[in-house]
Structure 1
Amino acid sequence: MSSDLPMNPELEEIDGKIQDIFRALQNGFQKLDNIKDPNRQSKQLEELTGKMRECKRLIKEYDQELKNQENQNPPEVNKKLNEKKQTMIKELNSYVALRKTYQSSLGNKRVELFDMGAGTSDPVAEDNVKMASEMSNQELIYAGRKQMDETDQTIERSKMVVEQTIEVGTQTAANLKGQTEQMGRIVNELDTIQFSIKKASQLVKEIGRQVATDKCIMLFLFLIVCGVIAVIIVKIVHPNNKSIPDIPGLAPPAPTGRKLLSA
């Protein structure tokens, strides 16, 4: 097909690489039918996916080169070259759809994003998707607004997450502050209890010393009383014993005859 259209060397080289990838994709999917091992099938699909990405990159280069030489070619030639580009995109889309079919049959439920460039739609995701260079101004404005709306929604969700995080952090800080104050009160109470225990210990010691002193005094008084009682008993038993001094109030009365004589 490239021989029917006038192309510069750059376009011919890109077109040749794209056609080589298409043949490789066709052969790869044919081999995939003969592979029975699911792991080998997954590996083969990964290799084919890499080739699709490379083909998408080459289609972009083809489109850019086509724009560069657009002024050098007649309108009919540019029209045919653009039709050829659309044919390439549709063929690549068919392989992508085939890849998804094989993935579904393998039970692979992972969502894979086939990155086709930032700010543009994926031309291999659907057959009717256009490249950014072919979209009208209205379509570009619509796509941009849609992207901005999605970005705004993402920002709002992020704000909600941040607010929730701040709220949780504030609540956690308040709980920690309350626990710190409670620990402070407990420490103060422990200090008061320790001081009270020291005071009680001192009081017990003083009481013990006082009790010991009182016991000594009582013992001394008991000994004195015992001594007095012993003297009284001895004086009663031996009233004429002069070695025992008289106890006031217990001495025998003086004879009355002596008083008469002295009188």
Structure 2
Amino acid sequence: MDQLSAISVELAELDGQISDIFRALSNGFQKLEKVKDSSRQSRQLEELTGKMRECKRLIKEFDREVKEQESRNTADTNKMLNEKKQSLIKELNSYVALKKQYASNLDIKRVDLFDGPGGEGYAEDNGLVASSMTNQQMMDTGNNMMDETDQVIERSKKVVEDTVNVGADTAAALKAQTDQMSRIVNELDSIHFSIKKASQLVKDIGRQVATDRCIMALLFIIVLGVIAVIIVKLVNPNNKDIRDIPGLGPPAARRLLWDPK
């Protein structure tokens, strides 16, 4: 920092602020290891992410200041400043990697600072990071980003395919339930018709039984009347009020064929 003070007060101040944030990040991650509650870990990790975001902004200001002073400094000074910048970037990236590890353990599924394509980390730091990378490193980084993008697309395809399959299964299940309900309704109609027909048949049988009982009762009364007449005729055969019943009356006087009269 003394060398930076001799070159530029602005660079020295930026370096001091960045160093303070690095110390805060180091202490924060050490405390994070002792926290067991996942929600509390998540909150502390968000605070550390905010500090890394601020550190990234300061490093970008440091890079702009170095470029502005590049024409006024010697080659050795510019080399020292670039090495200092790369050292700051490397240290920040180490905390980024540590943050990703904790985020993965907490199963945090969001695109955040330094989280790759579409995020506000490396995508915003192209000028800063690219200035400290070789062509091969830039190509490797680009390939890695493309691979990550392909993986995201494949996962999205898998989600869409699973959603379509679930929709097809749901439609098939609904159709099967609809068919089953139709069969149940038809069976209920058949049962209702059978019950109605059976009720009518029971009524017809009841009327027929009532008619048969009346006939039986009438025949019974007639039989009782005949038996009563027979009994009276047997008891009092000379009763003139009771007409003769064939076969039961007293024998009439018959004239013998051989009667001399």
Separation in 1, partners of 2:29, 2:190: 83
Letter of the structure 1 residue corresponding to residue 19 of structure 2: F
Correspondence for 2:19: 22
Q: Which amino acid aligns with 2:62?
A: Y
- Find the counterpart in structure 2 of residue 55 from structure 1: 55
What residue number does 2:38 align with?
Answer: none
TM-score of the aligned structures, taking structure 2 as reference length? 0.67
Deviation at residue 159 of structure 1 after TM alignment: 0.7
**What residue ranges of structure 1 are gaps of 5+ in the alignment?**
124-129, 258-262
1:177 Cα deviation after fit: 1.4
Counterparts in 2 of 1:135 and 1:23: CA distance versus 1, 3 Å: closer
3-state DSSP of counterpart to 1:239? coil
Q: Does 1:227 align with 2:231?
A: no
- Looking at structure 2, the residues matched to 100 and 139 of structure 1 have their Cα atoms a distance apart, in angstroms, of 17
Tell me which residue corresponds to 1:182. 180
Give the Cα separation in 2 of the matches to 1:221 and 1:177.
66
Q: In the superposition, relative to structure 1, how do residues 235 and 93 fare at CA in structure 2: closer, same or farther (>3 Å)?
A: same
CA 1:216/1:44 → structure 2, altered by over 3 Å: closer, same or farther? Answer: closer
Q: Is the 8 Å Cα contact of residues 18 and 55 (structure 1) preserved in structure 2?
A: no
Calculate the aligned-residue CA RMSD, in Å: 4.5
Return the alpha-carbon distance in structure 1 between the equivalents of residues 113 and 161 of structure 2: 34
Structure 2's unaligned 5+ residue stretches are 36-40, 115-119, 256-260
Deviation readout 1:116-146 (Å, 9 max, x if unpaired): 72337899xxxxxx82234456654543343
* C-alpha displacement of 1:147: 1.5
In structure 2, distance between residues paired with 1:191 and 1:229:
57
Structure number with greater CO (CA < 8 Å, separation at least 6) is: 1
Q: If the length of structure 1 is used for normalisation, what is the TM-score?
A: 0.66
Q: Percent identity?
A: 49
Distance in 1 (CA, whole Å) between partners of 2:45 and 2:205 is 96
Residues 146 and 231 (structure 1), Cα distance of their counterparts in 2 relative to 1, 3 Å cut: same
Instruction: Compute the displacement of 1:206 (Å).
Output: 2.2
Aligned-partner Cα distance in 2 for 1:111–1:234: 115
Q: Aligned residue for 1:127?
A: none
Q: Do the aligned residues in 2 keep the contact of 1:235 with 1:241 (CA within 8 Å)?
A: yes
Distance 1:147 1:120 in 2: 14
Q: Deviations over 1:74-110 (max 9, x none)?
A: 5x54773463143144146447758989xx9xxx965
Contact kept, 8 Å, 1:120 with 1:132, in 2: the verdict is no
Q: How many residues align?
A: 236
CA shift in 2, pair 1:156/1:79, >3 Å = farther
Alpha-carbon distance in 1 for matches of 2:11, 2:249: 154
Question: 77, 83, 87: which one pairs with 1:86?
Answer: 83
From 206, 212, 216, the equivalent of 1:208 is: 206
Report if the CA contact (8 A) 2:11-2:62 is conserved: yes
Give, in whole Å, the separation in 2 of the partners of 1:19 and 1:195: 94
Q: Could you tell which deviates more after superposition, 92-101 or 240-249?
A: 92-101
Alpha-carbon spacing, 1:217–1:154, altered in 2? closer, same or farther (3 Å): same
